[in-house]
Amino acid sequence: MSSRRIHSMELPRKVIVGSKVLETVGKLCVEMGFKGRVLVLTGPHTYHVAGKTVLDSLAEQGLEASHILVEEASTSSVERAVEALRRVNLAIGVGGGKVIDVAKLASAKAGIPFISCPTAASHDGIASPQASIRNVEGLTSVRAQAPMAIVADIDVILKAPYRLTASGCGDILAKFTAVRDWWLAHQLRGEYYGDYAANLALMSAKLVARNSAIIGEGSEEGLRTVVEALISCGVAMSIAGSSRPCSGSEHLFSHALERVAPGKALHGERCGVGAIMMAYLHKLRWRRIREVLRRVGAPVTAAELGVSAEDVVEALTIAHQVRPERYTILGEKGLTRASAEKLARVTQVI
């Protein structure tokens, strides 16, 4: 790419991580200069545990707040949200992955900013400019916009099932292989590679690896590490201008496995297992990744993912087709059946 290429970054203006911070969202909106109407998007459950608090805090500041429920991250949910957002000047997504994804994409389409209030630490979409939306072809990742602010309430996230946090760790450890794939694509295909974004993503993975014991205990301190690491990964994507620093061959495996065995495991859980296998191919310390996943209580085998050995082998052989433009260690032809089976066996996934 030309050296005259303009690289533009869109970053969050404010990141707040702490106890009872949802109560301050209204004040934050006023401080950031928002007036008038705000739309809060929540899930049916997250409305009760977090959405109401945000709505109350907006009302307290004299902001005219309304809310809609988001049940799924589909194109029809996005369209419905875009319609509702036409009458407001700020969107706030309060919930897990699906709500945040819909709020992110719909607000981008409506041309208004959005604030991300995650209620779980299950993947890096809570702070990234990318949204995963289900359409007729399945789940696809589309570029939306970075959140204007991120407000992560540790008290609320601590109450979410621990499995979600362990899954978030899988999504973070995936950066070890994602960054290697990015570097490979840079070397072999001349793709843009940004050292700063790559190192930011890697730092998150290293922090989680180093703190795996306290994370596994389910402590507040451990959760904070995971939340901050997820936010840093989102920022790394904003800096890179793509999901490259955070999504490589292990994500291709995760998406392929979701196609082969839909709804069996969480995104980050599949990415973690993918990272073990792709780390082997990259000659990285795959045993260390496996050990860290174990320590945080994330799956490391097909059985723990709730899928069969055959599902894993099948997913490995089709992973390179999921996103052909994304060059990774899987190459253009992918793995043969025999190589896929060998890889899964040697890394003890099957």
Interface positions with Zn ion (CB under 5 A) = 171
Cβ closer to Zn ion: 194 or 268?
268
* Closer Cβ to Zn ion, 65 or 229, answer by number: 229
Q: Where are the beta strands (DSSP E) in 250-311?
A: none
Nearest residue relative to Zn ion (C-beta): 171
- Smallest distance from Zn ion to CB 240, Å: 14
CB-wise, 114 or 253, nearer to Zn ion? Answer: 253
* Shortest separation between residue 271's beta carbon and Zn ion, angstroms: 5
Closest approach, Cβ 233 to Zn ion, in A, equals 8
Token pair for 135: 């359409």
| Closer residue to Zn ion (CB): 28 or 198 | 198
The closest of 143, 98, 141 to 119, measured between CA atoms, is 98
Question: Torsion-angle region of residue 251: left (phi > 0), alpha (psi -120 to 50) or beta?
Answer: alpha
Cβ 288 to Zn ion, closest distance in Å?
20
CB closer to Zn ion, 67 vs 267:
267
Cβ at position 287, least distance to Zn ion in Å: 22
CA 229 to chain centre: 11
105-116 exposure pattern, b = at least 16 Cβ within 10 A, e = fewer: bbbbbbebbbbb
Q: How far is CA 247 from CA 128, 145, 186, 346, in A?
A: 12, 17, 14, 23
Cβ(67)–Cβ(55) below 8 Å: yes
